[in-house]
A and B are shown apart, each in its own frame.
Chain A
Amino acid sequence: DTEVTQTPKHLVMGMTNKKSLKCEQHMGHRAMYWYKQKAKKPPELMFVYSYEKLSINESVPSRFSPECPNSSLLNLHLHALQPEDSALYLCASSPQPKRGAGTSYFFGPGTRLTVL
Chain B
Amino acid sequence: AQSVTQLGSHVSVSEGALVLLRCNYSSSVPPYLFWYVQYPNQGLQLLLKYTSAATLVKGINGFEAEFKKSETSFHLTKPSAHMSDAAEYFCAVSANTGNQFYFGTGTSLTVIP
Instruction: List residues of A whose CB falls within 8 A of some B CB.
Output: 4, 6, 31, 40-43, 45, 48, 50, 55-56, 90, 92, 94, 96-97, 99-110, 112
- B37-71 residues with Cβ-Cβ distance < 8 A to A are 41-46, 49-52
Asked whether B34 lies within 8 Å of A99 as measured between CB atoms, the reply is no
Count how many pairs of residues, one from A and one from B, have CB atoms less than 8 Å apart in the complex.
Answer: 67
CA distance A24 to B78 in the complex (A): 33
Contact at A42–B45, with CB atoms within 8 Å? no
B11 → chain A closest CB, angstroms: 14
- Does the CB pair A104–B34 fall under 8 Å? yes
Contacts of A106 in B (CB 8 A): 46
The interface of chain B, by Cβ under 8 A from chain A, is 32, 34, 36, 41-46, 49-52, 88, 90, 94, 96-101, 103-106, 108
On whether the beta carbons of A104 and B105 are closer than 8 Å, the reply is no
| Chain B minimum-CB-distance residue to A10 | B41
Contact indicator A112/B41 (Cβ below 8 Å): yes
* Listed residue (B45, B50, B101, B106) with the most chain A CB atoms within 10 angstroms of its CB: B101
Closest to B52 in A: A102
Give chain A nearest CB distance to B3 CB in angstroms: 12
Known: A45-B101, A112-B41. A104 touches B46 (CB 8 A): yes
Beyond contacts A41-B105, A43-B90, A102-B32: 7 other A-B pairs, Cβ-Cβ < 8 A, are A40-B88, A48-B99, A90-B44, A97-B98, A104-B34, A105-B34, A107-B43
A-side contacts of B104, CB under 8 Å: 42
Assess the A90–B96 pair: CB atoms within 8 A: no
Q: How far is the CA of A6 from the CA of B46 in the complex (A)?
A: 17
- A67 and B78 CA atoms in complex are apart in Å by 41
Shortest distance between the CB of B60 and any CB in chain A (Å): 13
Knowing A40-B88, A48-B99, A56-B100 are in contact, say whether A103-B106 is a contact too (CB < 8 A). no
Whether the pair B43, A99 counts as a contact (CB closer than 8 A) is no
What is the CA–CA distance of A110 and B43 in the complex, to the nearest angstrom?
A: 6
The 4 closest A-B pairs by CB, nearest first: A102-B51, A102-B32, A42-B103, A107-B44
| CB proximity of A85 to chain B, nearest CB, Å | 18
